[in-house]
Amino acid sequence: MRILAALVIAAVIAFGAARAGVFDLGGPALAAPSIGAPAPAIATTDSKGEAVDLTALAGKTVILEWTNDQCPYVQKHYKSGNIPHMQMDAATDGIVWISIISSAPGKQGHVTPEEVEALKRDRDSWPAHVVLDETGEIGRAYGAKTTPHMFVIDPAGALVYAGAIDDKRSTDVDDVPGATNYVRQALAEMKAGAPVSVAETTPYGCSVKYD
Boundaries of every domain in the chain: 26-207
Q: Answer for the pair 67, 148: CB distance below 8 angstroms, yes or no.
A: yes
Domain 26-207: give its CATH architecture: 3-Layer(aba) Sandwich (3.40)
Burial class from Cβ neighbours inside 10 Å (0-12, 13-18, 19+) for residue 177 reads exposed
Q: Which residues contact 158 (CB under 8 A, 6 or more apart)?
A: 36, 37, 38, 39
Burial class from Cβ neighbours inside 10 Å (0-12, 13-18, 19+) for residue 62 reads buried
Burial class from Cβ neighbours inside 10 Å (0-12, 13-18, 19+) for residue 56 reads exposed
Q: What is the pLDDT of residues 55-91, one digit of tens each?
A: 999 999 999 999 999 999 999 999 999 999 999 999 9
Nearest-angstrom CA–CA distance, 179 and 168: 6
Q: What is the pLDDT of residues 24-63, one digit of tens each?
A: 333 444 677 999 999 999 999 999 999 999 999 999 999 9
Please give the model's pTM, rounded to 2 decimal places. 0.86
